[in-house]
Amino acid sequence: MKITVIGTGYVGLPSGAGFAELGHDVICVDNDLAKVALLRSGQVTLYEAGLEELMMRNVASGRLRFSSSMADSVPQADVVIIAVGTPPHPITKEADMKYIRAAAIELADHLSGYTVVAIKSTVPVGTGDEIEALIHLKNPEAQFDMVSLPEFLREGYAVYDFFHPDRLVIGTDSEVARNTIAKLYSSFGPETKRLFVNRRSSEAIKYASNAFLAVKIHYINEMANFCEKTGADVTEVAKGMGMDERIGNRFLNPGPGFGGSCFPKDTIALVTMAQKNGVKMSLIEATVEGNTKRKQQVAKRILEAPGSGDVHKIAVLGLAFKNGTDDCRESPSLEIINHLLDAGISIVAYDPKAMKVAKQIYGDRIEFASDMYAALKDADVLAILTEWDEFRDLDLHKAAQLMNKLNIVDCRNILNPSLARANGFSYSSIGRA
């Protein structure tokens, strides 16, 4: 099949490369000319495990191409997938639809023959109807069906998730469109569940899923606070809870709060959408509020690291919002660093992948170290804020020799507490003594 993917971000690029690997003929379109030029020259514009190899292989086979022109890519497409960003609107806090609308208006003129137009971006319930009307208005002759095709990829695992989805949710009432999308994924076996629903349900499933996971994280973070006060160990509590299949063991890792380009914006957008519809979503409202406070609480904990006395310099390991990505959007680490900077602390930071992105944000307001040990030199506290595997292997003996004062605040519970203490550190983590 011929596929055009509009938007080459964290969703569009892995999906486009994935569809090419499945044997489809894919053109990824972006209106950022510089980005398209980089992609055409073989450079991957974001970090995602396995993406570079996947892209190179499919570019070489001729199944994956990049373009800035809808005129060159939309007319021949069987399926046009919209995967542009829906960042929070600066005033309303709802998903900002300007990129979706702009893409729809531009593609409308180029639709030729029957085409399925599928929205992969996370969009408010009812967006499919709005965009369908917009395309009709712009091009009354166009023969197309609008489909909601929400994406459940996790950053850092996007390539893996593309090929191993838990489920495919396909929102449309059109039989032809259902069959077209089913064909798109026909190489996935029966183990991949396909759920055909109406378009609005499909749009709602995406928000409902992300908000539920965000609530789960907020829940375990509050449970961690409770464990700290009562002498329980949240890791053991999460393990015990997770053994109940009704609860499940995933997304029960406590930490510095959830971040990224999805959970923070989607929870706020859902609360706002619900309010507009006269519905109160108190659980999600509490999650949004709790997650905001979480970062202040964690910053305070770092500043008050036991035994630290005066804190002048803090080594931060981890800038990305989670491991496996260079994405720093809504990263708890950056928000915590901002609180620490406000308190007059000098920060030296290291992240295996997100240094370039963070340098653009901070300039020379913080120091960037060349590796994790360089970050520790003369630091009064080590704060671990992202759960990169290489931090798990930190040589604590070496760390103790480098630091000025021996304090670790492990906000991802990745170090061995007894080993840290045996090396002379005052060690604190989340939700356990």
Query: Under the criterion CB under 6 A, does residue 407 sit at the interface with ligand UGA?
Result: no
Could you give the dihedral angle defined by the CA atoms of residues 131, 135, 138 and 142, in that order, rounded to the nearest 10 degrees?
-170
Query: Under the criterion CB under 6 A, does residue 380 sit at the interface with ligand UGA?
Result: no
Task: Supply the DSSP string of 385-411, one letter for each residue.
Answer: -S--HHHHT--HHHHHHH-SS-EEEET
Ramachandran sector of residue 138 (left: φ over 0; alpha: ψ -120 to 50; beta: rest): alpha
CA–CA separation, 26 and 24 (whole Å): 6
CA–CA separation, 376 and 264 (whole Å): 31
Can you tell me which of 32, 251, 274, 341 binds ligand UGA, judged by CB under 6 A? 251
The residue from 28, 227, 262, 328 that is catalytic is 262
Identify which of 333, 314, 308 has the alpha carbon closest to the alpha carbon of residue 379.
Answer: 314
CB nearer to ligand UGA: give 155 or 326.
155
The least distance separating ligand UGA from the CB of residue 214, rounded to whole angstroms, comes to: 7
Query: Under the criterion CB under 6 A, does residue 148 sit at the interface with ligand UGA?
Result: no
The three-state secondary structure class of 322 is coil
Query: Under the criterion CB under 6 A, does residue 19 sit at the interface with ligand UGA?
Result: no
The least distance separating ligand UGA from the CB of residue 209, rounded to whole angstroms, comes to: 7
Query: Under the criterion CB under 6 A, does residue 184 sit at the interface with ligand UGA?
Result: no
Q: Which amino acid is at 276?
A: K
Q: Are 294 and 301 in contact (CB under 8 A)?
A: no
Which region among 123-131, 193-201, 226-234, 253-261 touches ligand UGA (by CB under 6 A)? 253-261
Catalytic annotation present for 328: no
Can you tell me which of 258, 368, 388, 425 binds ligand UGA, judged by CB under 6 A? 258
Residue span 95-124 as binding mask against ligand UGA, x where in contact by CB under 6 A, dash where not: ---------------------------x--
In angstroms, the Cα distances linking 411 to 54, 215, 299, 380, 385 are 33, 19, 10, 16, 5
Q: State the SS3 of 87-105.
A: CECCCCCCECCHHHHHHHH
Q: Which residues pair with 146 in a beta bridge?
A: 117
Query: Under the criterion CB under 6 A, does residue 152 sit at the interface with ligand UGA?
Result: yes
Which region among 148-156, 309-317, 356-364, 421-429 touches ligand UGA (by CB under 6 A)? 148-156
For the segment 203-222, give every residue that binds ligand UGA (CB under 6 A).
210, 213, 217
Which region among 55-63, 95-103, 149-157, 275-283 touches ligand UGA (by CB under 6 A)? 149-157
CA–CA separation, 71 and 12 (whole Å): 19
Query: Under the criterion CB under 6 A, does residue 259 sit at the interface with ligand UGA?
Result: yes
CB nearer to ligand UGA: give 180 or 210.
210
Query: Under the criterion CB under 6 A, does residue 202 sit at the interface with ligand UGA?
Result: no
CA–CA separation, 329 and 305 (whole Å): 27
Query: Under the criterion CB under 6 A, does residue 255 sit at the interface with ligand UGA?
Result: yes
CA–CA separation, 109 and 131 (whole Å): 14
The least distance separating ligand UGA from the CB of residue 383, rounded to whole angstroms, comes to: 15
What is the binding site for ligand UGA (CB under 6 A)? Answer: 122, 151-155, 210, 213, 217, 251-253, 255, 258-260, 262-263, 321-322
Residues annotated as catalytic are 262
